Each structure stands twice: as structure tokens, then as C-alpha cells.
Structure 1
Amino acid sequence: MAAGPHHTDMEFLMAEHGEGTWVTVFEHIGDLRSGRQGALYCALADKDVSARAMADYGWDVQIGTDAPGFVTSYSGGEETSTYYPRSADPFQRLVYQRTFHGRKDGYIELCEEFRLLHNLYFDAKANQYITFDEAGDEVVVVKLSADRVEVRRSYLRSFMAATQRDLLLYFEFTHHFNDPVDPIESVASDTLRAEVYSGGAYVAGYKYFVRIVGKKRLLAAPLHECGIAPFEKAKRFEAFLIGGDDDAPILHTSDPATLRDYFGGNPDAPHYLTPVFFRMEVMKKYYGSSDYEIEDGRLSRKGAWSLRLDNNAPGHVSVFLGDLGRELPSKEQLYWKSFNIVPDGRTMSHANFARSFLGQFHESENPAHLFKQKFTRLNKRWAERAGWELFLPLADKDRHFFDDIRSLLTNEQAEFDALILCLAKTTIDSLNVKGIRKSVEGGETDKSIALLGQLLARLNVPDAEAYVTLLHGVQTVRSTGVAHRKGTDYEKAVARYGIDANDYAEAFNAILLQFVRLFDALLDDLGE
């Protein structure tokens, strides 16, 4: 006789069920015609109840709904009906199979207590429940289908520990055969009851059957291991480069509790405000997603975390050592660590020094910050004064062109091209041609740059021609090198407007600062 699939089922129950990353807590398996059928289900119970339940192999609950309702009792000849929010049995279902007797399609529901404890969001499109980790990343916790429910083991164990209830995993596998197979023994222990039956098949076309039915008990961990406030796991702090060089680096943990402060704490340790330096590329991840907001001196992820940083100095980003530990989640610290560089003469920006140590207001030194601040202020003041916006607002799907404007993180052609496009979309393509034409006598042209030039001349803006040349330059570089295949026209345009192909970062910063001067000139005309 040979081993059959029931051997595999028993091995699964003993070694794998409930132990992997995903735990199947509900499943309908096969059908009679396939020769294999069965089901998996589960229930939660207090420790004493779950221990008693292991005295036999029978299921303590049936697949279905533990619905609220009335229980009628009799005492002294009198009938009393009492409402119960759930059945009186001590077993709590994690999964409910809702049915509507053919009037509507049934569906699967998840225990409300589990959903609320982990603050799960139902993604209807993917048919799964998700939550967010400390870094704000999505975590799939439950995967649903019509015949199967899987729960991420770590969240299931967390729920068990928090409620101090064990989990009983019920199972039933039935296989039908035509050839005799090796028998297997039943199992009876405190954590697994698996009863094995066999005999003549009761399904047409088969001679034999083997059935395994029972339950497996997963024990709840102690309460303090649930990982839910106030029992969160201890935060992991990364060590960062604070001195030395590549051959002899000096690192120190970012744990704020270990750092020197202004009150005498940890006098022999580096100070909380020790600057730690990173390559500019560390910001690429955040500029590439609308989930993050980057401001002058701050990076934040919506609804998750916020980090104070110095993004004003050219060539690098810096963060205080203590802020890295206090404000960044552990997995984000790992990401930042991969961009960590030795100080090697680098310093924080004047703006950050004034703000952090002198308590002074200091305007940003980052050309991109200045561009956005002045652009926004100008458009607001212009609308208040003239009754129309100088630059039309971008459509929602184009808003990223403004948000993505920044100093280059690398010196690569592709990034320069992308930012030139962002700049052109935000400024040249957004000029309010109708509004400008109405304010300029004889403004009949439809060319936005020419109209702006006429407006600047009417306002007697100094260096008006230089600003028109600036806009023509951006438009030309965009049209010859970004919107179309690059060729000799692009090379000529780059040379004509003084763009150094060996230093795109400096060239783009220079362009941004020219726009800032244009905005300042117009704000001066408005009396700002």
C-alpha cells in the first residue's frame, strides 16, 4: 500500500497549520465529486475553555453566524425571554459566513473586535483588510475570497495575546480512493486532536475513504507580548556616522535616551543636536510619492510621521542625531542609514543654524523653496489686487508638476529634463493669457511669453527683457530636449542660455533663482 494525501494533511496539521506567515481560518475544500472535501474553521476561547475543548475531537462551533437574539427560559411556570448580543456559548467566531437563503448572495464577515483593535481598512477592490505600520506603509492583514480567509499570523497572535484567548483551529479532511492506502494513527494531545476514520467509500466511483477531523489549539502569548499600546515592542535605533572618515568611521546610536542634552544628561555622549549628513538622493523616494510632504525644514508622511531636517544646504541633507531616533520609525532609519555620509567638513545651512540655535527667523536658502514660496505669494497678492490670477491653478492631476519642483538630487540629464518640464508647466503653460491681454493695451498676441513681456514693460519692471529671455530659454530647452528628441537645436539652446551640461544641478538652481527675482520684482510692484 502507498501513502495517500491524508498523510500530507496530517503532516500539514502537525507542522504547518497556524505556524506560517498566513493562517487559514476558514476554507471550504473540494467537493464529493473530486474525491476530496473538507473544511477549516476557527474560534477563540478563554484558556480554561480551550483546554477543556481539547478533551475530544469534535468541533465546538459550526460554520455560520453567531447572531444575536433571544433565549427563552422557564422558571416557576413563567416564560422569560432574554436578549443576548451573541450566543451564550463561550466560543468567539473570528469569521462569519453570512447567508440570505438565496434572496441575496452571501458573503464573509470578519469579527468586529478584531477589525477595530487593529484599525483595519477594507480594500473592496482587492477584497482584503489592510492596516498601516509605524512608517505608514500598507500591511495586508486579512485576505478574503468566497471560500477562504487567511489572516497574517503576527496580527492574529497579537489579538490572541490582547484578549488572552486561545485559538482553536478546526479541520475536517475526507479523501476517497480506489486503491488501498497506508493507514495513519489518530493524534491526541493538549494542542492537537486529530481523529482518523476509514472504511468503504460512500461516493460513487470510489472504494475507500479516510477522514481526519479535529482541532488544533494555538496558545495565547502573555498580555505584554501583544504589541499594542501600552505594550508596544521596544523601538529599534540605528547607529549613524557622526565623525571620522570612510576608513575609520565614528558611529553612535540615535536613541535619544543615550544622548547628551542641555540638562546634564549623558555628559560623555554626543549631543542630541549633533548633525548627521546624508546624500541628496535620500530625498528621491519622498519626491516620487504624493504620500509625502516636503517643506522648508520638514519632511512628513501623511498620518504617520514627521521629521525636522535641514534641506537648505547645497549638496547634502542633514538631520540632528536625536531627531533621527525620536522622529523616524525604525524601518525609515534603515533607509536613511543607506545614504549616510561622514561629515568631512560639511556643515548645516545658515538658515538651520539660525532657526535651531539662535531662535531666529531665517528665509530659506534653497532655490526651490524660495521659488515655491514667492510663486504662491505672488499669485495670491496678484489675485487680491488685480482680481485675476497671474498664473492659472494647475488641474488636480497636474498638481505634481508644482510639487516636484526642487533642486536636483543628482546631476543626471533625466532629472534635469523632468524638472524643466515641471517648471514650464507651472509657469509658462499656466500664464493667464486672457487676464494679461486685458491689462495690456494693444495686447493682441496669443503668445504667453510675449504678453508677459508687454506686461513687465508696462509695469516698468527692471530687467524685463532678461526675464523674457529666461522664459524663452526654459520654453526652448523644454521643446527641443524634453518634448521632442534631442538634437542640434537642443545643444544650441543649452549653449545659448548658459546651461552647463557638466553641472545641471547648479544650472537649474540658477534658473530657479532668476524666477525668484522675477517674482520679487512683481511683488515690489504690488507693494510687498
Structure 2
Amino acid sequence: MSMPSIPGYLEPHRGGTLADLWTEPENIPSGLWPAKHLRKASPYPAEWLTIEEHFFTEAEHGGTGCVLVPSHQTSESIEGTTWIGRDLGDVAVWNTERFDNGLTLESENLTTEFFAQARRPSGSTSPVIELSHTFLWYWDAFPVKSGWSYLNRAGREQELVRWKQTDDSWKVEVRALELRSFLADSKRSAIIQFDYVTKIEHEPFERVDDSFRNEWAHLDFHCLHDRGMMSDRPAFSRLVGQYIISGLKTSRLPRWEERQQDRDYPTFIYGVDTESGKPLTHTCDPDNLGTYFDKDGTRLHYLTPVYFKREVLQPYAAEPARYSLSSNRLSCLNLWGISISFNSIGLVEAYLGDLGRDLPSDEWGHWRSYNVPPEGKMDEGRFRRDFLGQWASSKDVIGDLRRARAQASKVSSELLGSPLWKPLDGDIAAEFQSLIGPLTEDPAALGASLLVLTKAMIDAINNSPLKSSLDSYDKGDQSLRLLQRYVQQIGGEPDTTAILFNLQGFRSRGGIAHLAGSQKAKAAADLGIEGLSNIDAFESVVTRITSCLSDVTDLLNRELHKKSGGESDGKSIDPPSSD
């Protein structure tokens, strides 16, 4: 009968632990044989590994420690069962002028190195967890709550170390595969050291002693009854010793080694067979794609466009602090980036070779799930740049808005002493910089994009220069009304800023920031997006805000020109509009 493997409930017994290899001695009272600790000891751990532990309860006390030794000294490190490297993690200055830095201890035939500890410095109310900096640097790790993590090549956060602690107990665990890869590259072995005491109530019995030793472990065990030592639980056992974990290059590798890893390149749909109607697929392995230097045209070209639904960008748009999105590029921090564009019907397009070269292997599965056959026309600007070698721009409505906002802020700073729109910071800065518009037809997708616009274009209006420049205003005027008054004061029309009022109205009545009410349809109509698809509605709003900013900038330039007496002051400000 076949049984499924259910983590935490039904798991196959993998064998090879000390519990499998060390037979329980006879005549031991039930509860004193430390089987649960022996099951944790294996030379080939693959999940979480305890490297530092301390606790004390009525039924049990003890803990675990870990030090490193050079790989060629592993046999010497387990000659005995007494813990080695006990003085690591402490600095000592001797009368002989010897200085022990706490990182390395040398003896006649053994070198031990610090790896982890929980230290109690004077003045601290709780233990301080400390780990080998070399190990953390190897993984380019960063601290998180109760542990350390790192980013893989795809930019995905990976847990590396985790711990739980109280004022008088702690448990520190490390991901075993990451530890073994580190050990392999550093040519070190980890020595995991046990010392556990189990206590029970039991009638007197004869003392039992036993030991276990093989090429990777050496431990002692004894149990006895001694009411004078432990009156409440006079029967107790002790397990003490150590075992070796050797280095091995596992599937978990630092980013710089991931790049060199052999990989199985997936295939992507790039066309349709007209006879069978079935999709045509091809590997994205750059080495198996054609170039302009091929002798013939038998290989599919590196620059073959591949198409994806817009939804493929959703997980990246959801994390603007980590991923940067624009009309022509997707990138993750300083880790990776790939050129993209949007074709005539809104599909995301990327070159087949770039998918293999620039997209991390962890991302391939996600992109394949949104891969569709070609439809529509390639972005003209991209075609002219990439295939005709011409200087050409692509449609970029949100980029135009960002540039218009920056220009309006620059000119208003010159004229008023501070910008009409405050610089963005924190989360909203990242959201506005990576804003790409709605990626699905879900109403919530449009609402989220318009909310970012509202925060960047309305909430960020700077009231101070407006109030100091207005001839008059009412005490209750809010930022939008102040901006409208100022625009009219310098020659603008009452409806110059109408798009901003309509956007604010949609936020209030359209269900963006509050529950949608009966006036949602009217709010959409006022904003001019009723009946439009999400992307068309978004681009319509963005284009009109950009036009509003351009008009305001022209008015500001005109005022600046008047202020300078109609003469150039040498500053790089746009000339007044010819309208």
C-alpha cells in the first residue's frame, strides 16, 4: 500500500540518525533513554539544525553547542565526549601577554573556531545571540526579527537562522543545507555538541553506562538513581558528546554561485503552427539561439519576442520596495533586470534569449504560466531602437507624469522658494516610482493604481508656498482649493486643476479609500472613465494629470519671466508657452 508523505504527520523514516544506530541498553527505566535527542543527530541534515540551545525544567535540562574545526581535523575533534572550544566567544588577556580573541583556539593537534553562542553581557536583560560573521557574510545575510535571512539570485527572501529566547532559555537553528554549503567552501566541519539530563520519579535501580562511537559521532550515556542529588526526581540520565557535520555543496548556494550553476532551460511559446493550430515552443537557452553572426538561419533568433499576459507583473508590482517597474524594464534591487515592453494590445513582451540570460531560474515557472501566443503588434519604439538602430521613444504615460511633476516642482521652487508638490518618501515614493497601472480588469486593480496617483498628486500638495503667495484665501481651504486659487491668480482657468478635483472625488465616492456608495457611477463619469477598460481608464487619468501639470508649469514659467523683468537670469527654466 502506498502512503503519502505529510510533513508533520506522515513522514517517511529516513534512517541514519543516532537513534537508528545506537541500540537502547537493557534495564533502563522508561523515559530515561534520550531517543528524541538522538533522532536529531545525523551527519546529513537537510532541514533545520539546532546549533545553540539552553533550557532548564523540572523534567529536563541541558543544551546544544556548535564550533567549527578544519576538515582535516575532524577525527581529533571527537576523540573524547567532553565539549571542545568552551572558551570561544570570550576575550582573554594573559599575564604572559597572550591575547585570545575568542574567535579561534589553538591546541597541539586541534584548532577550534567560533560559530554561535548566546551571550549574557552585563547590562542586558536577555541573552544576545551571536553568530560567525564569516558565515553571515558568505550568505550576504541581513537581520530580521529573531533571526537572519538572505536573498537568492531571484531576490526571494530565504530564512537562514532563526531563534526563540526568553530571559533564561534559548534555541538557535540554522538551515542545514546552507550550513553544509558554507562548510564545503570554507573547508570546515561543524561539531555539534550535546549535553542533556532527563529526570523522572522512579524506584531505585542499578546504574547503567553505555557509549557510542563511529567515524562521525562519539557520545556517552549513563543513568542512575540518587535521591541525595535530585530529591524530587531521583532517577536521571545524562547524554553528552558530539558529532560531525561535513561540508557538501548542496542545492542552496550564494547568489554569486547560483549564476554559475548548470540549469535546465525551459521552453516558451513563441508562435503558432498554422497547420495544426498548436503552439510553437523553443528553449530560452541563449547558447541554443541564433545571432546575426550565424552562418545560416536554421536557429531561432535570440531576439524572438515572447508574449505574456499583463498579470505576469503582479507579484513585482506588489513589492515596489524590492522591484522596480517601468514601461521598458523590470529589475530587482541590484540583483537582476530584464528589458520588457507592452505591445499594441497590452501584452508584455520580452526577448526569448533575455528570458534565459536575464531572468533568474526561480522566476521561469511563474512567467511560463502567463505565456501566450503572439497577438498584436510590437511596440514601435522598441522595434526602431532594437532592429533599426534609431533613437526612438516608446509610449510611457506614467513616465511622462513623473517628469511633468518633477518639472513643475523645479519651476515652483525657483519661483516660490519651495515646490508645490512635496518630494515623496517612504512607501509612497517606491509605489509611485514603480507604478505601471492596473494589471487585471478587477476593479480593485484600478482603484489601487488611482490611490497611488491621489497620494502623489493631491496629498503631496505643499500648502506653505501657496498660502504665502496667495493674495487671499479662506481659513477652511484645503490643499486642492489653495492650488486652484493660486493657479487662477497667476492667469489659469478655473478648470485647469479640474482633473485633480475629480480624482479626489473618485477617491471619496468611488470606493478607493472608503466603501463605495451609490455615487460611484457618477464619480466615475466625472472622472471620465465610465465604460473604459482598467488600463484605458488609468492612462486617460494619467494623461490629463500630465496635461494639468504642463499647464501649471507654463503659468509658473510666465510668472518667473515677469519676476526677472522679462530678461533671462541664466537658469535652465522652460520658456513661456506660446499659446
Q: Does 1:285 align with 2:315?
A: yes
Structure 2 counterpart of 1:275? 305
Change (3 A) 1:442 1:94: closer
Q: Which residue of 1 aligns with 2:49?
A: 23
Of residues 528, 536, 556, the one that matches 1:506 is: 536
- Counterpart AA for 1:132: L
- Deviation of 1:24 after TM superposition, in Å, equals 0.9
Deviation at 1:298, TM superposition (A): 1.7
Corresponding residue to 2:172 among 149, 156, 160: 149
1:92 aligns with 2:113: yes
Report the Cα distance in structure 2 between the residues aligned to 1:112 and 1:467, rounded to whole angstroms.
59
2:502 to 450, 457, 473: 473
Shift of 1:114: 2.1
Which stretch shifts more, 142-151 or 441-450? Answer: 441-450
Distance change (3 Å), C-alpha of 1:215 and 1:432: closer
- Judge conservation of contact 2:85–2:112 (CA < 8 Å) in 1: yes
Query: 2:453 aligned with 1:423, yes or no?
Result: yes
| 1:166 Cα offset (Å) | 1.9
- Listed as ranges, the matches of 1:474-493 within 5 Å are 474-482=503-511, 483-493=513-523
Q: Secondary structure at the match of 2:105?
A: coil
Shift in CA distance, 330/43, structure 1 to aligned 2, threshold 3 Å: same
Instruction: Report the CA distance between 1:193 and its aligned residue.
Output: 2.0
1:193 aligned onto 2:181: no
- How many angstroms apart in 2 are the aligned matches of 1:347 and 1:237? 27
Contact 2:325/2:434 (<8 A) preserved? no
- Comparing 262-271 with 283-292, greater Cα deviation is found at 262-271
The DSSP-based 3-state class of the residue aligned with 2:242 is strand
Can you list the C-alpha shifts for 1:206-255, whole angstroms capped at 9, x where unaligned? 44333222221222237999767568533554332222279723222322
Matched, 1:122 2:143: yes
Do 1:142 and 1:150's aligned partners in 2 also have CA atoms closer than 8 Å? yes
Check if 1:53 corresponds to 2:77: yes
Change (3 A) 1:444 1:354: farther
Give the direction of change, closer, same or farther, for the CA distance of 1:82–1:210 in structure 2 (3 Å limit): closer
* Structure 2 residue 326 is matched with structure 1 residue 295: yes
| Match in the other structure for 1:139 | 158
Equivalence for 1:77:
none
1:150 deviates by 1.3
Shift of 1:349: 0.9
> TM-score by structure 1 length?
0.82
Residue 221 of structure 1: which of 243, 248, 265 is its match? 248
2:262 corresponds to which of 217, 223, 234: 234
Segments of structure 2 that go 5 or more residues without pairing to the other structure are: 1-26, 558-573
Match of 2:33 in 1: 6
- Decide whether the 8 Å contact of 1:130 with 1:141 is kept in 2: yes
**1:379–1:390: 8 Å Cα contact kept in structure 2?**
yes
User: Secondary structure of 2:331's partner?
Assistant: strand
Deviation at 1:156, TM superposition (A): 1.1
Q: How many angstroms apart in 2 are the aligned matches of 1:387 and 1:107?
A: 50
Give yes or no for the alignment of 1:171 onto 2:194.
yes
Residue 400 of structure 2 corresponds to 370
Cα distance, 1:91 vs structure 2: 1.8
Preserved contact between residue 20 and residue 153 of structure 1 (Cα < 8 Å): yes
Which whole-Å CA distance do the structure 1 matches of 2:37 and 2:465 have between them? 78
Q: How many residues align?
A: 512
Instruction: Report how far residue 6 of structure 1 moved.
Output: 1.6
Q: d(CA) in 2 for partners of 1:68 and 1:112?
A: 20
TM-score (norm. length: structure 2): 0.76
Distance 1:265 1:163, change over 3 A: farther
Q: Which structure has the highest helix share of the two?
A: 1
CA offset digits 1:259-309 (Å, max 9, x no partner)? 222232895332221112111122222222222222331222223222221
Q: 2:356 aligns with which of 307, 312, 325?
A: 325
Do the aligned partners of 2:499 and 2:548 also contact (CA within 8 Å) in 1? no
3-state SS of paired residue (2:33): helix
Deviation at 1:423, TM superposition (A): 3.0
Structure 1 residues 431 and 3, CA gap change in structure 2 (3 angstroms): closer
Paired amino acid for 2:365: L
Deviation at 1:204, TM superposition (A): 1.4
Q: Equivalent pairs: percent with the same residue?
A: 25
* Secondary structure in structure 1 of the residue aligned to 2:112: coil
Shift of the alpha carbon at 1:396?
4.5
Q: State the alpha-carbon separation in 2 of the partners of residues 380 and 467 from structure 1.
A: 19
Shift of the 522–358 alpha-carbon distance from structure 1 to 2, 3 Å rule, reads farther
Q: Is the 8 A contact 2:424 2:456 kept in 1?
A: yes
1:340 is aligned to 2:371: yes
- Deviation digits for residues 139-166 of structure 1 (CA, Å, limit 9, x no counterpart): 2222244532211112211221112122
Question: Contact 2:510 / 2:524 at 8 angstroms: preserved in 1?
Answer: no
SS of residue paired to 1:92: strand
Distance in structure 1 (CA, Å) of the matches to 2:252 and 2:415: 62
| Residue among 156, 161, 183 paired with 1:160 | 183
Counterpart CA distance in 2 for 1:188 and 1:292 is: 52
1:307-322 map, 5 Å: 307-311=338-342, 313-322=344-353
Q: Contact 1:99/1:105 (CA < 8 Å) preserved in 2?
A: yes
C-alpha deviation, 1:190, in angstroms: 0.7
CA distance 1:337–1:266, change in 2 (3 Å): farther
* Offset of residue 46 of structure 1: 2.4
Offset of 1:97 from its aligned partner?
4.8
What do residues 401-424 of structure 1 show as CA deviations (whole Å, max 9, x unaligned)?
644654321222222233333333
User: Structure 1 pair 302/13, CA: closer, same or farther in 2 (3 Å)?
Assistant: closer
Residue aligned with 2:324, SS? strand
Equivalent residue letter for 2:341: D
Q: Structure 1 stretches of 5 or more lacking a match?
A: 73-80
- CA shift for structure 1 position 56: 3.8
* Cα contact 2:225–2:235 (8 A) shared by 1: yes
- For 2:466 and 2:250, the matched residues in 1 are separated by 68
C-alpha contact (below 8 Å) 2:181/2:249 kept by paired residues: no
The answer to whether the aligner puts 1:407 opposite 2:437 as a matched pair is: yes
Query: Is this contact kept in 2: 1:375–1:519, CA < 8 A?
Result: yes
SS of aligned partner of 1:362: coil
Change (3 A) 1:443 1:354: farther
Q: Deviations over 1:362-415 (max 9, x none)?
A: 333132222222232233234335655343445656546644654321222222
